[in-house]
Each structure stands twice: as C-alpha cells, then as structure tokens.
Chain A
C-alpha cells in the first residue's frame, strides 16, 4: 500500500530525513519509535504532503500512485489520515462542522452524494461511541480549550469518521490516561481491517500492548536503523536507544 524509497527531506535547508525506506502493506500495523528530534513527525508530515518540507530525493508510492503528484487534500481524499501530535485549534469551527465539511468533500471526490443532516448525525453517533466522546465536545470550537487527552481522542474520532486506508498516529498515546489509552486503542483496533493499514509513532512500549504491531522500526537521525517484530519494542524499552547506536 505504501512504499517509501530512499526518502530525503529537508526543511529550511536542514536535512531531516536522510534515505528512509519503509514498506507497509494492507492489514498491517507498523510502529515507529525513535528519539526526540529523529524525524518521526517529519516523516508523517511528508507523507501527508506538508509543503514546508522539500523532498530532495527518493519517492513515496501510495496505492500505486506517486504521491509527489498529489496535494495534501488530494492525499487525504485518497485515504491518508494523520492524527496530529499537536492538533490545531480553529476558533469558531466545531468538530461537527469541520467533519461535515470534510466527510462531504471526500464523498464528493468519489462521486457520492453529500450526507444530509440526518445521515450525518447517524454516522457521528456511531463513531462517537467508538471513542467514547461526548456530543458537547464536538460542538465546541475544535481543539480550543480541549485537554490533551480530549484532543487525541478527537483525532481518533475524526479518523473513524473518515475511514482512511492509511492512518498515521503521531504520538496519539501521549497525554492519555490509562482509561483513555484503552478506549483509543480499542477504537483503533476496531477500525483495523485487512484493507487498511496503520502507522503508530510512539515513545512507549505500553501502547503496543494494546495496539499490537506487526513490525517495529527504529528511526534515528533520519533513517530507519532497525526493524523487527513487537519484541524489538520491549528490547528498546529495556536497553534504550544507545544500544542501537553502539551496535551500528
């Protein structure tokens, strides 16, 4: 589904990604771990098409499309979803309104009729249950004054609403209390299917007990330096990143 080959990306002439390779197939969950500043969020942004980053070398294929051809909103409509590490506030725009605009624009791009108020509400109700989020929160300005946990939960709610093919969760677990972590993980697991794939970026092995990955990758200094199965996460937790540095 996603194939990244020799990806080099920089921002303001600072090289961040330096020859990154990653292959994700449908039905898989990949975890990406790595020290602060190693380029995890950068990778997520580059896949999503943020134009502040220059891709200087390499390419990203998604569902047999060369992604560089597509604008961020086109990528989103193709089914790429990014749960932001730092969700953005938009004053005066409720999550409901935000999602209504998004869902209907995605539908339109597929030649489907926009959902009317009743149908939309029904969809919302269904997805709200999944992450146990309250209507009241969704009618407030999006992310404005939300607690850290509420923001993350709201991201997963949006993911559920948009039903993406590839979801990238950037540190969705940070800021969640134990109960919320379970709820969110449970939501993600429910949405998992053989037709979609998930990349979870995290610092904590704990999340991977709930969202069990098929692969774990270690991203350091702009490259994936080690890949393995879920046991790699345990090993990392025990030994720290220096262990990998030393081995390389």
Chain B
C-alpha cells in the first residue's frame, strides 16, 4: 500500500501541492486526474523519491520514503516501476539494453536478464525489437518499451505518468489494455492523467487532484455521478474559471 500523507511542495513562490493525502490500495488501479500543471508528475516524483516534499511524507509498505538511506531507496526502486510521460528511454542504448538496465543493477545474471527482456517485450507486443534504438521507434512504441522496462523488474507498484497523452485513440486503447493486464498480474497501478476516457477505462478508483489536494476520491461510478461542480466540470471537459487555478486560489 502506498500512503501519501499531507504532502506539500512548492517551487519558489509557486505552491504545487498543499496537504495532499491519498491511499493507493494494493492490487487495483488508482487513477489521479487533474489539469495540466496541477502537480500530477510532481506527486509521482515524490513517491519515487525523485523529489523531496516540503512537508508531509510518503509511506510505501509501511516505510517512509523520505527517511530512507541509499540502500533502502535502491531496494524501494526495485519495487516501484515508473513509466515516464515521454518514455524517457536512454537514447544511446538499444531496446533490450534499456529494459535490462534495471535488472543489471539488481544483480541478475545475463541469462535471466535476456529471458526477462524477452518476456517483457512479449507482454507489450514488441517482440523482435530488441536491437532497435529508441529513435527508430514511434511514440506509442516508445511508451510500450517504457512499460516493458518497468515490468521487467516485476515491481509491486507501477507509476504511470500520462500514459495515453499524445497518442492516437487506438494506441491509447492498447495502453489502457496493457495497464489493465498489468493489474491482473497483481501489480498495483497509480496512473496520473487528464484523459478521462482512459481514466474511466483503466481506473478501479479515481481521485481528482485540484488546488494541490485531493478534491474527491471514489469508484468510477461514484465519480461519474458526482455532484461536486469542480469534478463535474473536469470530467465533462467544460471550459470555465474554476479549472486550472493554481493552489490556494480556488473560487468556491
């Protein structure tokens, strides 16, 4: 279980998160929706220990990420897969090297690594691309390699940063399907997105991030039937003043 407790984060004068609390239960996909710049990526980076919160803490399996030393943090990273918005594949490495890099660090032998790379590529339906370079792949393929790199470590959790943004509808559906299949393998997913179609399709639970905190959490049905005007406006995609307001400036 991942528990976000009263997370606060500012960059300079700009407050991004303002006391965010959220629980991510095991074995299900939790989707965090929110407008561009609402702090979705920042939240994921706080969970993975890539950023430090100004206040509050993140608990993963009962351990507090912010107090971990180097080796604990390295172990944590073996348990959390991270799928970046633009895949963040290493340009200078082949697909196979990209996927195997985390396994090399965790100390697996070459045969195991080769087998895991092959398995992961099969899951994302990209078998045979082992020796290609990221520059030779389409955007959708790169994102799938990004997922393969995350699942190769057989993590308990996967954090997805806008997995369908910028993809055509069919490729988006493929990504959604992948995220559901990964969940069915027993992996807990935390997906951040502003793509409502994808959110309803992969989410078991949906939470809305607004003004630096969680506005509402609930099942897909609960969110679809919400009477909170801010959440309604967002899921229906209506323009208006309430939506992309920075933290602290909510017109209620």
Q: A and B: partners?
A: no
